[in-house]
A and B are shown apart, each in its own frame.
Chain A
Amino acid sequence: MDATTAPHHIPPEMSQYGEENHIFEIMQNMLEQLLIHQPKDPILFMINHLQLDNDNVPKIVILGPPASGKTTIAMWLCKHLNSNLLTVENLIAKEFSSLAAAARKHYQINKRVPSMQLVRLIQDRVSEDDCVRRGWILDGIPETREQALMIQTVGITPRHVIVLSAPDTVLIERNLGKRIDPQTGEIYHTTFDWPSESEIQDRLIVPVGISELETAGKLLEYHRNIVRIFPSYPKILKVISADQPCVDVFYQALTYVQTNHRSNAPFTPRVLLCGPMGSGKSLQAALLAQKYSLVNVCCGQLLKEAVADKSKFGEVIQPFFEKDMAEYKLQEGGALGSLPCNAVPGTARMLLPDSLIMKVLSERLNQQDCIQKGWVLHGFPRDLDQALMMDSLGYKPNRVFFLNVPFDSVLERLTLRRTDPITGERYHLMYKPPPTTEIQDRLLQNPKDAEEHVKFKMDLFYRNAAELEEFYGQALTINGDQDPYTVFEYIESGIINPLPQKVP
């Protein structure tokens, strides 16, 4: 407990628990709310906050120029996320509120609501029960920087801000085709979004203020204001182009709103790379280990090291590595016949029993440097049984990646590998060709890189891949058929960004 005693070993279960249950985020949200409201009785406030459990409800702001489709997107998002829509119109339409009545009067005269009143209306609305439980979506508010700052001051902070953008000419043209359904309030368009039912078609009215001149005027004002709103929401803002079909805009908005932002929670990466032979697992693992100081655990390498070190495991493993297995098989048929192992028909070798591999792996993963720095594992597990075994022993990766490479690319990568027997230099006939024909003549190929062998290994992998993908539900699939640094960037972003939330 002194500062003088050795560094304390934090059991890995603690960090796993913290990550899985998002403890850091829970505490951070609680602290935010405490600071915003500064209640006299913090403990009671904290109890109520925890009971509400509304850390993840939608809190979205949608901004954009007139005719960009804000209201349409906002309404669709509302329906999809089962949340509440707040617009200037429905805020001032509130009944039984003197504030709303005063705002209405002002709106009728000046066509806008003063910021103070608007913010007070928003504050009241957001503290209502349904907004607290299901979240809210603000459509077109804040209109100016002043409003943005006022909303922030009362403690209302959105988690996602979407800004729609499109060239002015497109918007002016679009606005001319705008039609409104007076009953539902939905917005339709003569060209892009015409309702199919003829009774709705008959109802539609032309809204006021959509002539070119008026739209241009509104656009000018919008551009003036939006530039000064951007700095209020630095990390949570996303600009989506509105110059594409409505459905595309909606899906982009939905995906964005459902992602969590990067959090400051402490995170020790425990990465699992899966993929067929030749997909680049070893290379990616080496790059990751180098950049993030993780421990690179290659299963095959680990076993070879055990044999080379002549450790107690090494001695048990060595017989499996012997070349001439035929004689061995005859001898050992009795003793080892009862062990669970993957016997491979057609080749003379027996593969190592799972339990043995698991023991060697456990020994490595339990070492202090793996626990503290995190690890990158590749080459294991290869099927569901091995995955279950690993899981039951408590080695749960927090990021799993599947590297997809088409068969032809794998063949290209592997069958063209050559080694120079004299210098030991490794070449690739396409990616790193030997410099002189003299060297090229004497190059040899590793029998493991022969086409037959590669095909066989790939089949083996794909037979088990479906089960593995199902087991690791949160795995990310990456296209491995690109240059190594691009693949590395995809893997990095997969590790750094929080895992995507499943759509409920």
Chain B
Amino acid sequence: MEAGGSREREARNYLEKHRIMELLKYLTSVLLFIRPEKPREYLIAILEKLRIAKATGVAFPFFMDHSNITAMFDMMDSSKKGTISFVQYKEALKTLGLCPADEVLKDDGHAITLDKFKSEVNKRTQEICGRTKGKGSGSCQTAAEQPRLH
């Protein structure tokens, strides 16, 4: 029984460490949205692109592109103030699957602007897809920067 418990813990840690669940959710969403004729081949293509993006730091073609992020922000910001509340921001990240349920985001008292929202979404998506820590983080930043300039 003890051995079973520790293997389960190992498995859960593995899932957490590599953010497997988020990756699978992302892949499933892409498949259902695009509905390619040959799902396996399409999945292989996406995964290959991910590998390349991870290795070379090239911007990964995000599923949520920037018009989508802007549209989402506008939907939440119904009074067009230019900012959204912290609660809305947290819910949005959870909906996108970018924020595990138990993560505590600090509320710095200011409302979240469109730019901050965009950069946070980009950063988290990069983390999931790339999982580059330490020396790779430089390329992460550049990859995140590039789309913002569009």
Binding site for B on A (CB under 8 A): 1-3, 5, 13-14, 17-18, 21, 23, 26-27, 30-31, 34-35, 38, 42-44, 46-47, 50-51, 53
Identity of the chain B residue whose Cβ is nearest the Cβ of A31 in the assembled complex: B24
A residues near B43, Cβ cutoff 8 Å: 26, 46, 50
Q: Are A35 and B11 closer than 8 Å at their CB atoms?
A: yes
Contact present for A47 and B48 (CB under 8 Å): yes
B75 proximal to A (CB < 8 A): yes
Alpha-carbon distance between A26 and B32 when the two chains are bound, in angstroms: 13
Contacts of B112 in A (CB 8 A): none
For residue B119, CB closer than 8 A to chain A, the reply is no
Q: Which residues of B contact A51 (CB under 8 A)?
A: 44
Q: How far is B27's CA from A153's CA once the two chains are assembled, in angstroms? A: 29
Cβ B91 vs Cβ A34 within 8 A:
no
- State the 5 A-B residue pairs at the shortest beta-carbon distance, nearest first: A14-B32, A17-B35, A47-B47, A38-B14, A1-B72
Task: From known contacts A1-B95, A3-B91, A46-B47, infer whether A27 and B27 are also in contact, taking CB-CB under 8 Å.
Answer: yes
Tell me the minimal C-beta distance from B73 to chain A in angstroms: 9
* Chain B positions 70 through 100: 1 when the CB is less than 8 Å from some CB of chain A, otherwise 0: 0010011000000000001001100100000
The docked-state distance in angstroms from the alpha carbon of A5 to that of B77 is 12
Q: How far is the CA of A21 from the CA of B75 in the complex (A)?
A: 33
- Contact between B47 and A5, CB atoms less than 8 A apart: no
* B76 in complex: contacting residue of A1, A14, A18, A26, CB < 8 Å: A1
Q: Complex Cα distance A212/B39, Å?
A: 57
CB <8 Å contact, A2 and B91: yes
Give 15 new A-B contacts, CB below 8 A, not counting A2-B75, A47-B51, A53-B40.
Answer: A1-B76, A1-B92, A14-B33, A21-B31, A23-B32, A26-B43, A34-B20, A35-B14, A35-B15, A42-B23, A43-B47, A43-B50, A44-B51, A50-B40, A50-B44
**Minimum CB–CB distance for A258 against chain B, Å:** 21
Residue pair A42, B32 in contact (C-beta under 8 Å):
no
Taken residue by residue from 12 to 42, chain B's Cβ proximity to chain A (1 for < 8 Å, 0 otherwise) reads as 0011001010011001100111010001100
Q: Collect the chain B residues with CB atoms within 8 Å of residue A30's CB.
A: 24
Instruction: Give CA–CA (A43, B55) in the complex, Å.
Output: 12
Decide yes or no whether B10 CB sits under 8 A from chain A. yes
Q: Are B10 and A38 in contact (CB under 8 A)?
A: yes
Say whether A2 contacts B88, CB under 8 Å.
yes
Q: In the complex, A42→B47 CA distance in Å?
A: 10
Q: Which residue of B lies closest to A24 (CB)?
A: B28
The number of residues on chain B lying at the interface, defined by a beta carbon within 8 Å of a beta carbon of chain A, is 30
The interface residues of chain B lying within 8 Å CB-to-CB of A27 are 24, 27-28
Determine chain A's interface SS by DSSP, over half rule: helix
Known: A14-B35, A23-B39, A50-B40. A1 touches B75 (CB 8 A): yes
- 26 A/B residue pairs, CB under 8 Å, sorted by A: A1-B72, A1-B76, A1-B95, A13-B35, A14-B35, A17-B32, A18-B32, A23-B28, A23-B39, A26-B40, A26-B43, A27-B24, A27-B28, A31-B24, A35-B11, A38-B11, A42-B18, A42-B23, A43-B50, A44-B51, A46-B43, A46-B47, A47-B44, A47-B48, A47-B51, A51-B44
What chain B residues lie within 8 Å of A14 (beta carbons)?
32-33, 35
User: Which residues of A lie under 8 Å from residue B31 when comparing CB positions?
Assistant: 17, 21, 23
- Find chain A residues with CB under 8 A from B92 CB: 1-2
| Nearest CB on A from B4, distance (A) | 10
Q: A38-B11, A50-B44, A51-B44 are in contact. Are A43 and B35 (CB under 8 A)?
A: no
- Assembly CA distance A115 to B72 (angstroms): 59
| In the bound complex, CA of A18 to CA of B14 (Å) | 27
B18 to chain A, nearest CB (A): 5
Cα distance, A186 to B31, chains bound together (Å)? 48
Q: Inside 8 A of A2's CB, which chain B residues have their CB?
A: 75-76, 88, 91-92
Distance A44 CA – B47 CA, assembled complex (angstroms): 8
Q: What are the residues of chain B within 8 A of A50 when measuring CB–CB?
A: 40, 43-44, 47
Q: Which residues of A contact B40 (CB under 8 A)?
A: 26, 50, 53
CB nearest neighbor in A for B19: A42
Closest to B94 in A: A3
Q: A1 — which chain B residues lie within 8 A by C-beta?
A: 72, 75-76, 91-92, 95
Smallest CB separation, B25 vs chain A (Å) = 9
Given contacts A2-B75, A5-B75, A43-B54, contact A21 B39 (CB under 8 A): yes
Q: Collect the chain B residues with CB atoms within 8 Å of residue A26's CB.
A: 39-40, 43
Smallest beta-carbon distance A307→chain B, Å: 39
A373 to B76, CA, bound (A): 29
Question: Would you give the shortest CB distance from A155 to chain B, in whole angstroms?
Answer: 11
Residue of A30, A43, A44, A53 most packed against chain B (CB within 10 A): A43
Minimum Cβ distance to chain B for residue A110 (Å): 28
Interface string of B53-71 (1 = CB under 8 A from A): 0100000000000000000
For the complex, what is the distance from the CA of A3 to the CA of B95, rounded to whole Å?
9
With a cutoff of 8 Å between Cβ atoms, the chain A residues found around residue B50 in the complex are 43
Query: Nearest chain A CB to B48's CB is how many angstroms away?
Result: 6
Minimum CB–CB distance from A345 to chain B (whole Å) comes to 46
B131 shortest CB reach to chain A, Å: 9
Alpha-carbon distance A2/B23, docked complex (angstroms): 22
Residue in A closest to B31 when the chains form the complex, CB atoms: A23
Closest residue of chain A to B8 (Cβ to Cβ) is A35
**Set of chain A residues within 8 Å of B33, measured between Cβ atoms:** 14
Set of chain B residues within 8 Å of A17, measured between Cβ atoms = 31-32, 35
CB-CB nearest in chain B for A40: B18
Q: Which residue of A lies closest to B54 (CB)?
A: A43
Most chain B C-beta atoms within 10 Å of own C-beta, residue among A1, A13, A26: A1
For the complex formed, measure the closest distance between the CB of A123 and the CB atoms of chain B, giving whole angstroms.
17
List of B residues within 8 angstroms of A35 by Cβ: 11, 14-15
Shortest Cβ distance from B111 into chain A, in angstroms?
15
* Chain A: minimal CB distance from B17 (Å): 10
- Compute how far the CA of A431 lies from the CA of B37 in the bound complex, rounded to whole angstroms: 52
Closest chain A CB from B87 CB (angstroms): 9
